Structure 1
Amino acid sequence: MSATAAALTWSNVVLPRSGLGVRGRTVANAAFATGYAAIFGGHPKWVSARGWRWGGAAAGAIAVGYAAAVAIPPIRKRLAAVTGREPEVDVAEWVTIHIPLGTVYSEETIFRGTLDPLLDEAAGPLGRCCGALIFGLWHIHPARAAGDNVAATVAATTAGGLIFSWLRRRTDSATAAALAHLALNAGGALAPRAAGAMSNRHR
């Protein structure tokens, strides 16, 4: 399917070879996602009361999970040891601009807003697994660039994709998945810093 090939080629070939810095990649990703949705008939349906309700609940549960992790001393110690990965920018810019725009908007527009409905129509129930797997494969180059285990990253993001896709189907909107995605990624950037700050106070 051309929509699948376009997404994977962009993430793993075109964007990595662009030579853009983090700000340029954020703009390029958002522009690509917007064009992708226009070309392939995407309908994220961002204005969705049901999507906002489910997304708010999911984001709240994720935030509670991060807060609990920071509050539990053994887990807090592990979190505090995690090195931040915000390339070229400080954490405030990373969390308020690059995660929401370059990651969440871009990926949810492409996957939950466009590709998932196409796969549902083309492959039925099998499309649910295919969309999540393609979302996992989208992260191959980012995993390599970060020095992460590629197979583990693909497996983890595929699992996340299954949850995000379920939220999209449950609400008929990409909004719920986007809010959960935002909470997960922003929490992943902020929790280690909160854990480090708490650990320093307890010394």
Structure 2
Amino acid sequence: MSARHFGRFDALSLAAALIGWSFVSPRLPALWRTMLQAGVGGVLVRVTRTPLGLGPPRLRAGLRLGSLAALHVAGTVAATTILATVRRSMADRRPPAAAPEWLLLRIPVGTVWSEEAAFRGALMTAGSAAFGARGGRLLQACTFGLSHIADARATGEPVAATVLVTGIAGWLFGWLADRSGSLAAPMLAHLAVNEAGAIAVLAVRSSDRGILRR
């Protein structure tokens, strides 16, 4: 089925399903959750026949734009670690898994690939077919924000702020995908956000433990 066959009901149903899944998946064992989310993303891409732009010439544009965004994100995250409030928040955050599993499996596979495939890939494709390009980008951004409600509740983060921030991030990721014509651009930016944040958390916690041992 091609994207042009998606109507508004189809696009909204997919959005609702993704939000519903965000409340179900945290109840699954961590490894199962990672693999299932990655698989769901792949299935949705195939069903919607989403053009990923992971081959030339679009891949080159995606890598170029995504790398620029990733460098900016990584620099911003690194700069914020000097703020006392940010360091305290990072020090209080408990990593969800051992560092290698978190950095090499859960983030790139269970989060970045699965979310980019599902939101900037499948949902934006279906939404654009139903509501136009800007409408599709807005639909996936709003859905992306709402899909983080369960995570915010689990970590004790403010729900409204989390939805707003992740919704804005979703809009920007969608812009990167539209601008480059490749899913590589938002994937690199998304990877930079999560990896830089995770590495900063690990570094701050390690530094604080070192100070306490002295």
- If the length of structure 1 is used for normalisation, what is the TM-score? 0.86
Post-superposition Cα deviations, 1:129-168, rounded to whole Å, max 9, x if no partner, equal 2221011111111212222221111111001011101101
User: Residue in 2 aligned with 1:11?
Assistant: 22
User: Residue in 2 aligned with 1:127?
Assistant: 136
Percent sequence identity over matched residues? 38
* Residue number among 24, 31, 40 corresponding to 2:32 in the alignment: 24
Whole-angstrom CA distance in 1 between matches of 2:188 and 2:41 = 17
Count of aligned residue pairs for this structure pair: 194
**What is the root-mean-square deviation of aligned Cα atoms in Å?**
2.0
Shift of 1:101: 0.4
- Name which of structure 1's ranges 35-44 and 90-99 shifts more when overlaid on structure 2: 35-44
Post-superposition Cα deviations, 1:2-45, rounded to whole Å, max 9, x if no partner, equal 32222222222x324xx422111101111111112222222322
Whole-angstrom CA distance in 2 between matches of 1:84 and 1:93 = 17
Shift of 1:61: 1.1
Q: Which amino acid aligns with 1:8?
A: I
Matches within 5 A, 1:52-201: 52-70=63-81, 72=82, 75=83, 77-81=84-88, 82=90, 83-87=92-96, 89-124=97-132, 125-197=134-206
Post-superposition Cα deviations, 1:105-142, rounded to whole Å, max 9, x if no partner, equal 00000111111122122112233222210111111112
Structure 1, unmatched stretches of 5+, are: none
Whole-angstrom CA distance in 2 between matches of 1:79 and 1:176 = 27
SS class of match (2:193): helix
Whole-angstrom CA distance in 2 between matches of 1:126 and 1:38 = 22
Shift of 1:102: 0.4
SS class of match (1:44): coil
Structure 2, unmatched stretches of 5+, are: 1-11
Whole-angstrom CA distance in 2 between matches of 1:69 and 1:160 = 18
Whole-angstrom CA distance in 1 between matches of 2:13 and 2:85 = 42
SS class of match (1:15): helix
Whole-angstrom CA distance in 2 between matches of 1:21 and 1:4 = 24
Indicate if the aligned counterparts of 1:3 and 1:40 stay in contact, CA closer than 8 A: no
- Name which of structure 1's ranges 25-34 and 142-151 shifts more when overlaid on structure 2: 142-151
